[in-house]
Amino acid sequence: MKTFTYAWRYLWARPMGALLNVLLLTLGLSSITFLLLVSHHMERAFDRDLAGIDVVVGAKGSPMQLILAGVLHLDVPPGNVNFAAVKALEKNPLVAQVIPISLGDNYQSYRIVGTTHAYVAHYQAPLAQGRLWDAPMQVVLGATVARKLGMAVGQSFAGSHGLGGTGHKHGDHDYQVVGILGATGSVLDRLILTDSASVWRVHEPAHMDQGEAKDDHDTDHDHHDDHDADKALPDDKREVTMALVRYTTPMAAVSFPRWVNTTTDMQAAAPALEVTRLLHMLGLGTDVLRAFAGMLLLTAGLSVFIALWSAVRERRGDLALLRMLGAPASRIAALLLTEALWLALLSSLCALVLGQLFVLGLGAMLGLESALLAAGMLWPSTLLLVPALAVLVSLGAALLPAWDAYRSDVLQLLQSRG
């Protein structure tokens, strides 16, 4: 199609104008790409990490905090709960499964999570190397953790207190890596999993005396000298951070949370509900961004319009001459529309690449990679909206100039005597 070649040449005959228009369109479109991608990444992350978890039971406090801490592993938990009380939930006929989660330590900012094998099974994580733990102080690394820290089966390390990276080291408690999980794309990838008993072993002796273990960030947390595994506490003295609960029936959603909230000193938070609330809050922010992106696109459309309009004015004689050479009016109009299409195509490509880079950059900057944003690029079908919008805006802007070109009067060419 020669029309594309000529349109391309005419477009770049004025390189600054063409660049400006591509830039303006790209700005608007990349904002939209970014919004589409972030919301897709987040929905995907929520879908993936929340799947099959009907309710989370943990210490009273903010239910959203509980979800963010325990399911998505983004926030710190509101506190701990009694292990016996959690185990008691299993007896409830509405409950199909209870997975305990114990938080408190990290290694190089990766959370060490005390739990059971059921947690691994829940996310259907395959073992890439080694095996699952069968004793306390053995850990299985998530795929991202193993990759980023370059750790292998057989290595050992000491955890640090707290969930950040700055707590003091539990120098005497070495964890031993016994297995590495394959990548699941889920929250497991960036966790270090171990037996619940490991967390107890590291923490309990210090807190036991005061009977207070709710504060995960206890800064004058003592080192412990005696870590005999046999010195086990009864369950009702032990604590976990929360429990992930699966119902036997969807009907349980009606009564179970209320039952937990009123009859125990724990709270039940439904992930679906909290995430909807969260997305709604974020939605207010994205609405503003979307309106902003819309304004950018509108500006870009105007700029394209002005550029093509003046191009038609400037080339009026050239276009009339094309008519004289036998070009039907529709071919002249098509030439103008094709120029606009080139702008749409170029800016779509730039916007898609730029949008992806924004998301990758955001993930790297906020450390959200594989938390809310999947590692690597996603190409959801909603991104088709970007070229569609680009074509809509550019062709919309080109309509009037193209119509003007369509009507270019050859008689004027003959009469324009110098």
Q: Do residues 181 and 189 make contact, with C-beta atoms less than 8 angstroms apart?
A: yes
Select the residue interacting with another protein from 318, 345, 357, 358 (CB under 8 A): 318
Please state the closest distance from residue 23 (CB atom) to another protein, in A.
20
- 298 Cβ partners below 8 Å, 6+ apart? 28
Q: Is 320 in the site for another protein (CB under 8 A)?
A: yes
Task: Please give the Cα distance from 167 to 175 (Å, whole number).
Answer: 17
Please state the closest distance from residue 329 (CB atom) to another protein, in A.
8
- 137 Cβ partners below 8 Å, 6+ apart? 173, 174, 175, 176, 194, 195, 198, 201
Q: Is 12 in the site for another protein (CB under 8 A)?
A: yes
Say whether 74 sits in a helix, a strand or coil: coil
Q: Is 13 in the site for another protein (CB under 8 A)?
A: yes
Q: Is 128 in the site for another protein (CB under 8 A)?
A: no
- 314 Cβ partners below 8 Å, 6+ apart? none
Q: Which of residues 91 and 417 has its CB atom nearest to another protein in the complex?
A: 417
Stretch of 1-9, 59-67, 143-151, 279-287 lying at the interface with another protein (CB under 8 A): 1-9
Q: Which of residues 6 and 309 has its CB atom nearest to another protein in the complex?
A: 6
User: Read out DSSP for 17-37?
Assistant: HHHHHHHHHHHHHHHHHHHHH
Q: Is 10 in the site for another protein (CB under 8 A)?
A: yes
Q: Is 323 in the site for another protein (CB under 8 A)?
A: yes
Residue 87: which of 98, 75, 102, 73 has the closest Cα? 98
Q: Which of residues 13 and 366 has its CB atom nearest to another protein in the complex?
A: 13
Give 3-state DSSP helix, strand, coil % of the chain, rounded to 5. 55, 15, 30
CA distances from 403 to 325, 332, 408 (A): 19, 9, 9
Q: Which of residues 321 and 375 has its CB atom nearest to another protein in the complex?
A: 321
Q: Is 418 in the site for another protein (CB under 8 A)?
A: yes
Owner of token pair 């210090």: 206
Q: Do residues 31 and 352 make contact, with C-beta atoms less than 8 angstroms apart?
A: no
Select the residue interacting with another protein from 3, 92, 109, 248 (CB under 8 A): 3
Q: Do residues 302 and 294 make contact, with C-beta atoms less than 8 angstroms apart?
A: no
Helix (H), strand (E) counts: the chain: 13, 12
Q: Which of residues 44 and 316 has its CB atom nearest to another protein in the complex?
A: 316
Q: Is 410 in the site for another protein (CB under 8 A)?
A: yes
Select the residue interacting with another protein from 67, 322, 351, 359 (CB under 8 A): 322
- Number of Cβ within a 10 Å radius of residue 228: 8
Q: Is 249 in the site for another protein (CB under 8 A)?
A: no
Q: Which of residues 14 and 48 has its CB atom nearest to another protein in the complex?
A: 14
Q: Is 414 in the site for another protein (CB under 8 A)?
A: yes
Q: Which of residues 235 and 318 has its CB atom nearest to another protein in the complex?
A: 318
Stretch of 6-14, 124-132, 192-200, 245-253 lying at the interface with another protein (CB under 8 A): 6-14
Select the residue interacting with another protein from 20, 158, 289, 413 (CB under 8 A): 413
Q: Which of residues 384 and 414 has its CB atom nearest to another protein in the complex?
A: 414
Select the residue interacting with another protein from 6, 247, 259, 358 (CB under 8 A): 6
Please state the closest distance from residue 313 (CB atom) to another protein, in A.
14
Task: Please give the Cα distance from 34 to 356 (Å, whole number).
Answer: 7
Q: Do residues 61 and 81 make contact, with C-beta atoms less than 8 angstroms apart?
A: no
Select the residue interacting with another protein from 52, 165, 317, 396 (CB under 8 A): 317
Residue 105: which of 45, 174, 184, 152 has the closest Cα? 174
Q: Which of residues 246 and 331 has its CB atom nearest to another protein in the complex?
A: 331
Q: Do residues 373 and 187 make contact, with C-beta atoms less than 8 angstroms apart?
A: no
Task: Please give the Cα distance from 344 to 352 (Å, whole number).
Answer: 12
Q: Is 4 in the site for another protein (CB under 8 A)?
A: no
Q: Is 91 in the site for another protein (CB under 8 A)?
A: no
- 215 Cβ partners below 8 Å, 6+ apart? 79
Please state the closest distance from residue 409 (CB atom) to another protein, in A.
9
Please state the closest distance from residue 21 (CB atom) to another protein, in A.
16
Select the residue interacting with another protein from 210, 262, 263, 415 (CB under 8 A): 415
For 96, phi then psi, to 5°, come to -90, -40
State which H helix or E strand residue 67 sits in.
helix 63-70
Please state the closest distance from residue 328 (CB atom) to another protein, in A.
5
Q: Which residues bind another protein (CB under 8 A)?
A: 2-3, 6, 9-10, 12-13, 315, 317-318, 320-328, 331, 410-411, 413-418
